[in-house]
Structure formats: structure tokens, C-alpha cells
């Protein structure tokens, strides 16, 4: 039998303006994240699922917390997560509405807007690799202390923008773009393992880093990649340089963060949202 509990907003929300120790900022909107206290009294971490994806769980001061990424496609209203154990239970939480601004981009290379047939075959093949990397799970305690900003530069395109390429609507921007000169070093924001490296049609030269428990970071449009699959990185290790490969209008780093296979705003993991 499944028991359902509602979590009050008073105990549910950890302030977006005062970051708790070892936890990211919260913002319960599509593309944000929420931290839910769990009614569990075990020493072993409970298994928690949202949208059938396993959720990162962290113990802070003897309290188990579920750190949940909210997909950009999430509808405003009440959502439910499942807690698996001897007695399966559910907890509900509320997602608030958020409307992201539009961004219109003109690309000279029209194949990057309307790919040829041979391009589509490549894109479909690459999609399966990218999806697998973003869904990757490793049972290792994720360190949620504030991330190091991976590259020094200017925020040129924020998260969640509703994008139009040459007037045609496309998926929302699932990361942030940091403009920087080609060759600028890119650093690991936290301890990680390289789980995929590739050169993709839209994303260009790309690296995926696994930080444990479904927390994955993605780095696109790179110029040079200095790591391979399986390499282990420490926070601050240089692993690539900024480039302009794939679908770009200039040199920049596209930095994405995926949590329980939901793309969330990377700035929630930074100290005081340092990217400007």
C-alpha cells in the first residue's frame, strides 16, 4: 500500500537567498530544483524516484533530503515523488509557473537549422549517446558544495531561453552560455569522472562529467579536449579549452547541469550566482 504525504512549504523550501551548507540554491520552477525532507529514519539512504528517474539523496544533520531537478517541461502544480522501501510512500511538492524570455538567433550555416538527410542520421545516432550520458547513475555520494565556475567569461545566454533559429522555434536553452576567447581553459567545477567524450553535430566537441547520484555536467563547443572516458578529475583540474565547434555564432562554453535527467539552471550550483 502506498501512503501519500504532502510536504508543507515551510519545511520544504530551503531559501534561494541563503544557501544551506553543502546544498545548491532552490527554485521550484521548471528548470529549477527543490529539496524535500524525507520521513525516513534509517541509516541507509532511501531510494527516491521522480518521473521514474532516481533522485539524489543527501543526509544533512541526521535528516535525509531529496535533491530534485525539475524538468523544463514540468507543468505548474502538484508533483509527486516515490520513496521505495519496506513501506512505499509518496511525497508531493508544488512547482511554480515561470515564463522564460525569447531569444532570436541568426545562423549563416542553414544546415544548423535545417539539417540534410545525412546530417539527421548522424544526429539521431548521437542523440542516443547524449541521452545515455545524461541519464547515467553511479552510487557515489555527490558533493553539493558550491561549484567552481568552469570558465571565466561573460554570461551571453542564460538558462531556459525560448529559442528561435532563423525565425524557427526550437527547444529551450538547457544550459548557460559563457562567452570567452577561443583557447580559454575550462576547469572541472567539482570532483568528477569523465563518462563520455565526443564531437557532435549541434554541440561540437563535448565532455560529460559524472559527479555521482545522477548529477551530470555537460561542456559543449570546445576547441580542445584533454581527457578521455574514464579519467578522474579533481575540482579545479583543467580538462578542455573554449572553442566554437558545432552550432555557434562565436566562441563560448555551453555549460549544462542534469539532475535526475532533468536539465536545471547551473547557476543554482554556484556561490552567489557568480556568472554575470
Instruction: List, in order of start, the domains of the chain with CATH numbers.
Output: 3-95 (2.60.40.1590), 102-269 (2.70.70.10)
pLDDT at 31 over 80: yes
Contacts of residue 104, defined as CB under 8 A and 6 or more positions apart, other chains included, come to: 163, 164, 167
Q: Can you give the pTM of this predicted structure?
A: 0.91
What does the pLDDT look like over 195-206, one tens digit per residue?
A: 999 999 999 999
Burial group, residue 101, by CB count within 10 angstroms (0-12, 13-18, 19+)? exposed
- DSSP 8-state assignment for residue 145: S
Q: How confident is the model at residue 274 (pLDDT cuts 50, 70, 90)?
A: low
CA distances (Å), origin 207, targets 39, 59, 161, 239, 253: 37, 29, 23, 9, 11
H or E element that contains 178: strand 176-179
pLDDT at 4 over 50: no
- DSSP 8-state assignment for residue 87: S
Section 231-255 average pLDDT: 97
What does the pLDDT look like over 175-193, one tens digit per residue?
A: 999 999 999 999 999 999 9
Q: How confident is the model at residue 22 (pLDDT cuts 50, 70, 90)?
A: confident
- What is the C-alpha to C-alpha distance for residues 189 and 212, in angstroms, rounded to an integer? 13
Q: Could you give the 3-state DSSP secondary structure of residue 143?
A: coil
- What is the C-alpha to C-alpha distance for residues 137 and 56, in angstroms, rounded to an integer? 10
Mean of all residue pLDDT scores within the chain: 90
Strands 63-69 and 33-37: antiparallel
Q: What is the pLDDT of residue 12?
A: 39
- What is the C-alpha to C-alpha distance for residues 174 and 270, in angstroms, rounded to an integer? 17
pLDDT at 116 over 80: yes
Q: What is the pLDDT of residue 15?
A: 44
Compute the 3-state secondary structure of the chain and give helix, strand, coil in percent, each to the nearest 5. 10, 40, 50
Q: What is the pLDDT of residue 43?
A: 83
Amino acid at each position: 500500500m502506498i501512503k501519500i504525504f504532502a510536504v508543507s512549504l515551510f519545511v520544504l523550501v530551503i531559501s534561494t537567498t541563503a544557501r544551506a551548507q553543502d546544498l545548491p540554491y532552490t527554485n521550484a520552477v521548471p528548470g529549477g530544483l527543490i529539496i524535500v525532507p524525507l520521513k525516513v529514519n534509517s541509516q541507509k539512504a532511501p531510494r527516491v524516484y521522480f518521473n521514474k528517474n532516481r533522485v539524489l539523496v543527501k543526509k544533512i544533520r541526521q535528516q535525509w533530503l531529496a535533491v530534485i531537478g525539475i524538468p523544463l517541461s514540468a507543468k505548474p502544480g502538484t508533483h509527486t515523488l516515490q520513496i521505495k522501501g519496506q513501506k512505499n510512500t509518496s511525497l508531493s511538492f508544488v512547482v511554480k509557473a515561470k515564463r522564460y524570455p525569447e531569444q532570436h538567433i541568426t545562423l549563416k550555416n542553414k544546415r544548423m537549422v535545417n539539417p540534410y538527410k545525412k546530417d539527421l542520421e548522424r544526429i539521431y545516432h548521437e542523440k542516443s549517446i547524449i541521452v545515455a550520458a545524461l541519464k547515467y547513475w553511479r552510487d557515489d555520494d555527490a558533493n553539493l558544495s558550491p561549484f567552481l565556475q568552469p570558465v571565466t567569461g561573460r554570461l551571453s545566454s542564460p538558462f531556459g531561453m525560448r529559442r528561435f533559429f532563423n525565425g524557427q522555434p526550437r527547444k529551450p536553452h538547457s544550459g548557460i552560455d559563457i562567452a570567452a576567447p577561443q583557447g580559454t581553459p575550462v576547469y572541472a567545477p567539482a570532483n568528477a569522472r569523465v563518462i563520455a567524450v565526443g564531437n557532435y553535430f549541434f554541440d561540437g566537441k563535448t565532455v560529460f562529467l559524472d559527479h555521482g547520484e545522477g548529477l551530470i555536467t555537460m561542456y559543449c563547443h570546445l576547441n580542445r579536449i584533454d581527457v578521455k572516458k574514464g579519467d578522474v578529475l579533481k575540482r579545479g583540474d583543467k580538462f578542455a579549452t573554449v572553442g566554437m565547434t558545432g552550432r555557434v555564432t562565436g566562441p563560448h562554453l555551453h555549460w549544462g547541469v542534469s539532475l535526475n535527467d532533468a536539465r536545471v539552471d547551473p547557476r543554482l550550483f554556484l556561490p552567489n550566482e557568480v556568472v554575470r
